[in-house]
Structure 1
């Protein structure tokens, strides 16, 4: 009887040494996110209280607008590059060099699109235009995140954690100073952007510490063509994901006002703070999943995916259930009475985490199976669902309506859409069974 109620173990690989590497790597990533979740939440709440609902809403509106063009900056390369590095580390210099230059072109294009879009739509609102430009410009330095992809492929994320957390802590101190000297909104945007630049410098130093040099990287046209041929569906998929993750705040700002964005952003900040969990667990376990696929061991391959899914479902429900009842108390305690309406939004929005977790969990499967084009279609379906639902729900229910739209669209894009195509029904059934996490 007791065997039927086993909690799923986080054991994705056979060898103890490999498992030890994953646990160590995950530990570093947990440290990174816990530090960011703790310090970031405290200072973020402090900033929200200082700026007030209106300016906090404006800042998040600009951030969401920039986020819409994030997929152009990333070009959907990360998972593909990690897979290549795992399979063929001997071609490391060409893979990393080509990735770097592609990641440099992407952010420049994203900056032009973001700035052009906001200038055409808000040319009479100079503050919003400047906010978007300041937040989008440092994306160019994200090209150095290529180094992080190498560390991920080697399950050595501790170097990225150290480099980026030093930048995070330095800028956190700067933000505290800005609050105390009563700095304007644009100063906080500049500080946010500076963290990207400092973090990039830290990655270069960490790479040199490991006796590597970015100067040895080489451009390869053939590698570039191969990567882009695989990544273009992920770019469009990323656009769709960005729409159903960011469009709610933009539509709230346009249909209701910046204060509604501030209320919604406060709730979303608490809800989305948990999204680091599936990201770090999957980033650490993905190399093992790719390795099992390469070995053509279907039992091991799907066994690892199954355990990963069940574990993440259990974690998400453990978070969402109590948060539903404590949402009002948490919002009032952290943000104050001016953000009280965010309690209702949080109680709804927190359930999006369930579908975020299981969506992230199967992302290595889409890469390993070469089905990134299908990931694009499911993301587009989720994005369309969110926009349509927002059009109907926001006018009547404001932020709560946007939260309902978000939960449903996440369910469609990350889960239900997989059941609509023959090639993804296998992973859909695995996702469906993952809800029975107490089953053997």
Structure 2
């Protein structure tokens, strides 16, 4: 069997083998993180109880709302530029690093100011938010990951992030055994980002690259920001409809309900690494296909949408039927109310996946402004439905609002703009299984 698989692998084109290998590394990383996260994360949730678990997740959600200031929407732009021309590596990485560092500092200040307005008397929440916001400063070192992505060499990033993840999970287990405070667990989450940043820096230099050679360019900075500002806005609104539910639950209900709902969110999003890893791996190839052959370009996009739809169905259907058993098995009776929210939230993943698959097309076609616009409308839809449904239905209402918002922003909105209607058709074919049928028919004809 191994020899047959090896023979099939050798018949693949070098480019496809590189993508497959890169995706395998990303899958390996996320599977390890998923296993550890599930084991240790559930242990932490049980230890903290819904109220403290809710406070921790409320703080991270609040920081998440402003995190686009730290990322500056640079990820895809920098990866694209490096994939097209790596001769300016030092200038691109150096400029992106400085921009992201300034963004991280701005995020810290803005988040702390926000929590002082929303929770003026809650000192514990102030501390939790400040600690979580500190972690955004270390995301400036993610530019190293951008370089390895552009070269389809994510295995080096995997080594770094897994080292940090394993170490911090050991720390979390130790904190549980020590009966540590909630603040200590918040520091552990921030420490993970710091350790990952150091590990990335070491890996980059060990591979023969020199971080000291990075240089900042005002011209490059203006160029990057002029292209990324729609993605910054898009990032804001995406975080709003991804995390505003937790914040609004905390403001309109209580921290215990946030904790229960957070348990559902973590299980529902547990598998998101799959579409994210696939898109991350194929993105450079999609960019190059656009330059070489328009037909192949759209064929690859259809294949990507097909995969996203079917992997989503494979996860969502069984999780919907067994949500009660899953919640009881993982979190125990204290979190039993998370089951209905989980059964609904898991369907958001279908549209998240289609939206991720649409991303390379939007960037390649220069339609980042459209992405920001649809995400903004999705965010508004989410907030409206949260406002209407949370008072009566709590976490379940927040889950329904999230699915509706994701469905519109990632899929439905494509129908209303002429330039995106071809993508709406491709997504619809994937949802109905027609794209997969076409693919099988083409293969049968070739055979």
Which TM class, normalised by the smaller chain length?
over 0.9
Query: 1:378 & 1:19 partners in 2: Cα distance?
Result: 32
* 2:189 pairs with 1:192: yes
Residue 304 of structure 1 pairs with residue 304 of structure 2: no
Report the TM-score, using the length of structure 1 for normalisation. Answer: 0.96
Shift of 1:222: 1.4
Equivalence for 2:29: 32
Deviation string for 1:199-221 (max 9, x for gaps)?
00000111011100111111111
Q: Tell me which of 402, 420, 423 is aligned to 1:424.
A: 420
Using the alignment, how far apart are the partners of 2:29 and 2:390 within structure 1?
Answer: 35
Is residue 391 from structure 1 mapped to residue 408 from structure 2 by the alignment? Answer: no
Aligned residue-pair number: 426
1:131-280 counterparts in 2 under 5 A?
A: 131-280=128-277
Matched residues in 1 for 2:363 and 2:221: separation?
17
Q: Could you tell me how far 1:432 is from its partner in structure 2?
A: 1.1
SS of residue matched to 2:394: helix
Runs of at least 5 residues in structure 1 that lack an aligned partner in the other structure: 1-13
Cross-structure match for 2:316:
320
Deviates more, 1:276-285 or 1:114-123: 114-123
Aligned to 2:347: 351
Describe the superposition over 1:230-288 as per-residue Cα deviations: whole angstroms up to 9, x where unpaired. 10011011100000000001111111111110110000110011111111000000000
C-alpha separation between the residues in 1 aligned to 2:428 and 2:117? Answer: 44
Pairwise CA distance, 1:142: 0.9
CA distance in 1, matches of 2:229, 2:416: 22
Please tell me whether residue 289 in structure 1 is matched to residue 281 in structure 2. Answer: no
> Which residue of the partner structure matches residue 415 of structure 1?
411
- Structure 1 residue runs of 4+, over 3 Å off? none
SS of the residue 1:124 aligns to: coil
Partners of 1:423 and 1:108 in 2: CA distance: 37
Q: Which residues in structure 2 correspond to 1:117-136 (within 5 Å)?
A: 117-136=114-133
| 2:445 alignment partner in structure 1 | none
Structure 2 match to 1:10:
none
C-alpha distance in 2 between matches for 1:337 and 1:290: 48
The secondary structure found in structure 1 opposite 2:272 is helix
> Who is 2:39 aligned against?
42
Q: Specify the SS of the correspondent of 1:362.
A: helix
Name the residue aligned to 1:439. Answer: 437
Deviations 1:83-116 (A, max 9, x none): 1001111111111111111111111111111011
Q: Tell me by how many angstroms 1:178 deviates.
A: 0.2
Q: Equivalences for 1:91-130 in 2 at 5 Å?
A: 91-130=88-127
**Aligned partners of 1:429, 1:378: CA distance in 2, in Å?**
17
Q: Is the partner of 2:269 in helix, strand or coil?
A: helix
If asked which structure has higher relative contact order (CA below 8 Å, sep 6+), I would say 1
Deviation for aligned residue 1:293 = 1.4
- 1:58 equivalenced with 2:77 (yes/no): no
Task: Return the alpha-carbon distance in structure 1 between the equivalents of residues 48 and 223 of structure 2.
Answer: 46
Q: Could you say what secondary structure the match of 1:212 adopts?
A: coil
Counterpart mapping for 1:374-389 below 5 A = 374-389=370-385
TM-score (norm 2): 0.94
State the secondary structure of the residue aligned to 2:140: helix
Give how far 1:122 is off. 1.5
Cα distance between partner residues in 2 of 1:315 and 1:239: 27
- For residues 81 and 114 of structure 2, the distance between their equivalents in structure 1, rounded to whole angstroms, comes to 35
SS at match of 1:218: coil
Using the alignment, how far apart are the partners of 1:259 and 1:421 within structure 2?
Answer: 42
Q: Secondary structure at the match of 2:73?
A: coil
Name the CA distance, whole Å, in 2 between partners of 1:149 and 1:403: 32
Unaligned stretches of 5+ residues in structure 2: 1-10, 439-447
Deviation at 1:123, TM superposition (A): 2.3
Could you tell me how far apart the structure 2 residues matched to 1:143 and 1:308 are? 30
User: 2:368, 2:429 → 1: CA distance?
Assistant: 23
Give the CA deviation at 1:15: 6.9
